[in-house]
Structure 1
């Protein structure tokens, strides 16, 4: 793959200079030129005057067409680059470009009765995609002669070769078992939310194994929420190929600003807008972007994050909302990925544990919160457990939960329910090190956990187990946590699961108090965040270890 390497190590310079993001490749020029000629003559059916792609599409799209089709070796019928991942903001002719690329593939196709498959995230998008392809055909007197359009099944057939294009919606149509040669996935970030998305990608790539002339192209915007599931994996792979960390036959085209330019609202600089919106001045209007940014600023952080992700490809860290917990604004800034549980226990003079949840439809959240003996800062480490039934009852969050599991932040347990025993063992281990200052739980109690702790002689009677007031009773802990996050004296381990739970928090104010609850019932889990508040409640009381360590465990004993 040395001559076909698609690494672009100077991508930051390229994007800031407005240069092409496609690396220099040993393309088969005749194939590339032929594809561009076909692509250029296709018309956009839903624009006044029905302009051709030559007139309406930016050069960035032709660069992609040139690379994808120019990677095809007609002597061996092998495509040297079988995949492309295109990350581009909304309104940059994604739908028109996708339709024209698929149509170009079927026109140039050499495989008898080849199948082209365009996968859309929803039925509505699938209908629009099909309408775009069909309209492009109807706009050309020559194409209408060679294509048969079947509106009712979203299928188009090339009359002479038998090759087809089908448009399917991933939420309704059956993708599994497809034997397509040309596959285009529209909006991978939405597609990733499907519970069986990873299985479908395996099926798609399996089909390409038997079709070396085929390709898989993904065209997507950034996610409105932190990347998850298959989208997170695909995006990471594309970035690693671009950065030269991974060698795959994949063409990565990522229209995103370097972090140094996008962070802290840097993306709002209008000088950068054309760099990530390659169709600016054509399908994207700068006045429209200016209005949307202005309205977003008036409507608050939630809308700003939405505009930033969808129109400027800024990756969302925490999905902040207008009724968010104020501490969420500082959460990402206080992350220390090097803070392990062992590091926390070594640095802290006293440690408390907060626990929340535990039902079969919830996560069992745990937070370990300690006071650093040197700086007096609060250090937090967390994790959670979940029963397998959550995966069945909440398919909308399966992708996120599996990501947390892979990261070692979540344990999925079966009917043996070993979560409680693991939590008890962890708490007992902290007690045995002479650090435990208490365990905070919902006063309603978690019977099995209470029993398990009692077996370790950690009980309410000896002050080891504390019922933490919930609802408005947690207000002091909530306020304390957000103030310490703001001034930098609360540091956490950077858990993506904890960040997700924090982002799901909804603060409900009254005339005299506030309480934390979920943004949406069911899917929006907050158990780890609530466990952290329980721990904050305890540490705010300035506890001492229940069974302090002897000073001679840390310094030598002198015998005279």
Structure 2
């Protein structure tokens, strides 16, 4: 990919090699070297307030953070345009992330020459934002010459630092729409963006912050965060994806206005079943402050403790300290099928591919009230290998987004992926399901009897619509729920493990599988919506309903597959 004509290209070719060698992740940029050096000098003189001896950052901070400081403050040109307008830094815990962020903001306040400028500190919670504030306060009070104490007045009660000469201020702000609206800050620090993504309003708040800065050509927005301890979702996922795309050179031009500094292993290392990320020899790649705020001995001890506690704790630890992205949330009372889910995926397994390869297909349906998902699972049987092929979809009424705000951003992500439909009308979910059934029947894949399995409660509207569209009563079958699904639960586990069930690698289903909690009741394993709590598992229950039918070894209901394939070719 060609570099930007003006030299402000934030792509970082060879970033993996840079990680291995410990080189900077900030690419070569046409910085104002004098301004960059001035900012780094200010940053270096600040002192760590909560470490014995209060060492200056010249000794206590890593070069990786000085590179960020140089880029942010050395990218302002003669026309007062800051070319590094945004920063997205992904770095694990114990790397002085919050302290470094506080030092950036205090450096900005110290360098500020204009009057009445504002710099804001945001966190997902007030205490997290205040951590950065009090680090900045501590740096002021740790100045051995006393200059900073004389010039900067700390208002503890309103969490504000005021420059007594310019009246410019650094203040904590609440992460809230009402607070973010109407402000025009010159610089903003967003700490722990991955936690913010759990808020349904997060994208709107960040949009307001960006909107307030749009008239300021010299403003900057710095996001500094660790990886999420759940599969990335919402605003965190979208910002991380953009930063990766810019780093890799896949997004260029005006959309590539963010400087990505991502201390994460290459994807191949993260998904490798041999887990090279678990080898301490590779940890220096993603722990830039190693030997300063954190040492290898402590990391290895914490790793050993996490490993001893089990797979779920190990993954959580790896996400927070090594930025290993979690693709499937695992917990101690998880459904055992979750352990084999990721390995059973098959890229490119669309619904049409399933239909083309299968000699028969059955459908499982599950859904509750308006604040639940309506999940559909299609299982086809490969006519050559006899393996089961699984594809799923879900529908959500807008009520879910309002009543389950904590998962609303995640559901919108699934909708963007095409794996979930957010209904525009009250019957769109019913119509969507029936349309799918009609398509499968038209292809001759549905058995003449017991082709569609569903929870018999609350499905009257769906049955009526299906009958109106030519689905026979004999093809619909009520599936008893609760412990009566035990055979499907256990059977699905075994087929995932032995590789005879392949699924479409859908993020929606990885989430649902991760939400599933197993309860032992006598000799039965029960997975219920009640145990899953606010998280959703409806599409997974639909899978179990479909498994109950496919386990009967059904035959297709006609010879329509050939006709359907021919219609595709035409």
TMscore range, shorter length: over 0.9
Indicate how the Cα distance of structure 1 residues 148 and 369 shifts in structure 2: closer, same or farther if over 3 A, else same.
same
Q: State the 1:441 CA deviation.
A: 0.6
Question: Which residue is 2:29 aligned to?
Answer: 25
Tell whether the 8 Å contact from 2:444 to 2:561 is kept in structure 1 after alignment.
no
In the alignment, the residues of structure 2 paired with residue 380 and residue 308 of structure 1 have an alpha-carbon distance, to the nearest angstrom, of: 30
Deviates more, 1:486-495 or 1:363-372: 486-495
Which residues in structure 2 correspond to 1:21-100 (within 5 Å)?
21-73=25-77, 75-100=78-103
CA positional deviation for 1:555: 11
Deviations 1:366-385 (A, max 9, x none): 01111011111111111111
Equivalent in the alignment of 1:261: 269
Q: SS of the counterpart of 1:202? A: helix
* Correspondence for 1:321: 331
CA–CA distance in structure 2, aligned partners of residues 270 and 61 of structure 1: 23
- Aligned residue number for residue 336 of structure 1: 346
Q: Secondary structure at the match of 1:436?
A: coil
Q: Distance in 2 between matches of 1:481 and 1:37?
A: 61
Q: Gaps spanning 5+ residues in structure 2: where? A: none
- Relative to 1, partners in 2 of residues 1:58 and 1:419: Cα closer, same or farther, differing over 3 Å? same
Change (3 A) 1:310 1:552: closer
**2: distance between equivalents of 1:521 and 1:179?**
42
What is the deviation of 1:37? 0.5
Could you tell me whether the CA contact under 8 Å between 2:177 and 2:208 is conserved in 1?
no
1:537 aligns with 2:537: no
Q: Aligned Cα RMSD in Å?
A: 1.9
Match for 2:367 among 351, 357, 370?
Answer: 357
Structure 2 CA distance, aligned partners of 1:529 and 1:474? 12
Alpha carbons 1:273, 1:312 under 8 Å: kept: yes
Answer yes or no: is the 8 Å Cα contact 1:181–1:207 preserved in 2: no
Check if 1:381 corresponds to 2:391.
Answer: yes
Deviation at residue 520 of structure 1 after TM alignment: 5.8
Q: Secondary structure at the match of 1:183?
A: strand
Correspondences of 1:215-230 after superposition (within 5 Å): 215-230=220-235
- From 467, 475, 487, the equivalent of 2:486 is 475
Deviations 1:495-548 (A, max 9, x none): 111111111000111341111124865421000111011101110111122x31
Tell me, in whole angstroms, the C-alpha distance in 1 between the residues paired with 2:518 and 2:472.
Answer: 32
Distance change (3 Å), C-alpha of 1:239 and 1:550: closer
Match status 1:156 vs 2:161? yes
2:463 aligns with 450
* SS of aligned partner of 1:217: strand
Aligned pair count reads 552
- TM-score when scaled to structure 2? 0.93
Structure 1 residues 551, 380: closer, same or farther in 2, change over 3 A? closer
- The answer to which of 326-335 and 492-501 deviates more is 326-335
Select 2:321's aligned residue among 311, 321, 326. 311
Picking from 361, 369, 374, the partner of 2:379 is 369
Residues 168-247 of structure 1 aligned to structure 2 (within 5 Å): 168-170=173-175, 174-247=179-252
Paired residues for 1:287-298 under 5 Å? 287-298=297-308
Q: Deviations over 1:92-136 (max 9, x none)?
A: 001110110000001112332111011111122122222111111
2:413 corresponds in structure 1 to 403
Question: Is this contact kept in 1: 2:438–2:469, CA < 8 A?
Answer: yes
The residue number in structure 2 matching 1:502 is 513
Structure 1 contact 358–365 (Cα < 8 Å) conserved: no
Selected match of 1:10 from 10, 14, 18 = 14
Contact 1:505 1:519 in 2 (8 A): no
- Give the match for residue 260 of structure 2: 252
CA displacement at 1:179 relative to structure 2: 0.9
When normalised by structure 1's length, the TM-score is 0.95
1:441 aligns with 2:454: yes
Instruction: Give the aligned partner of residue 110 of structure 1.
Output: 113
C-alpha distance after superposition, 1:75-102 (max 9, x if no partner): 2111111111100000100111011000
User: Equivalents in 2 of 1:226, 1:554: separation in Å?
Assistant: 38
The runs of 5 or more residues in structure 1 that have no matched partner are: none
Deviations 1:48-101 (A, max 9, x none): 11111112111111111111111112x211111111110000010011101100
Using the alignment, how far apart are the partners of 1:208 and 1:98 within structure 2? Answer: 19
Q: Work out the CA distance in 1 between the residues paired with 2:75 and 2:409.
A: 33
Q: How many Å separate the matches in 2 of 1:270 and 1:115?
A: 43
SS, match of residue 256 in structure 1: coil
**Partner Cα distance (1:555, 1:46) in 2:** 69
User: Deviation string for 1:327-382 (max 9, x for gaps)?
Assistant: 11222222223111111111111110000014111000001111011111111111
Distance 1:413 1:258 in 2: 37
Deviation for aligned residue 1:457: 4.8
8 Å Cα contact 1:22-1:64 kept in structure 2? yes
Instruction: Single out whichever of 288-297 and 221-230 deviates more from structure 2.
Output: 288-297
